[in-house]
Amino acid sequence: MSDLEELIQKVRSRAALPDPVTRRAIREAAGVTRQEVAEVVGVTRQAIAYWETGDRSPGPGHRERYAEVLRRLALVPA
């Protein structure tokens, strides 16, 4: 992959992640716990808590998976 392609992918990954308040709202609306999301993403429950409060952001290794989980949870009927 070229340097430009890597840069474009990095920007797309950042853009795909909702703001922290929306992240929590999506998870809660789907009725799942932080622990359940953490297990799917491959991080700790505390990492999800940090990401939902905006205290920290997921690193490149987890950002794409977390964004995918949120996208799919958003499609779950309430």
Tokens coding 39: 């297990």
- What are the pLDDT digits (tens) for 34-66? 999 999 999 999 999 999 999 999 988 899 899
Q: How far apart are CA 11 and CA 28, in angstroms?
A: 27
Q: Indicate the number of domains in the chain.
A: 1
Spatial distance between the Cα atoms of 23 and 28, rounded to a whole number of angstroms? 9
Q: Is the pTM of this model over 0.95?
A: no
Number of C-alpha atoms within 13 angstroms, CB side, residue 76? 14
What is the enclosing helix (H) or strand (E) of 39? Answer: helix 34-41
Question: Which residue range forms the structural domain that includes residue 28?
Answer: 3-74
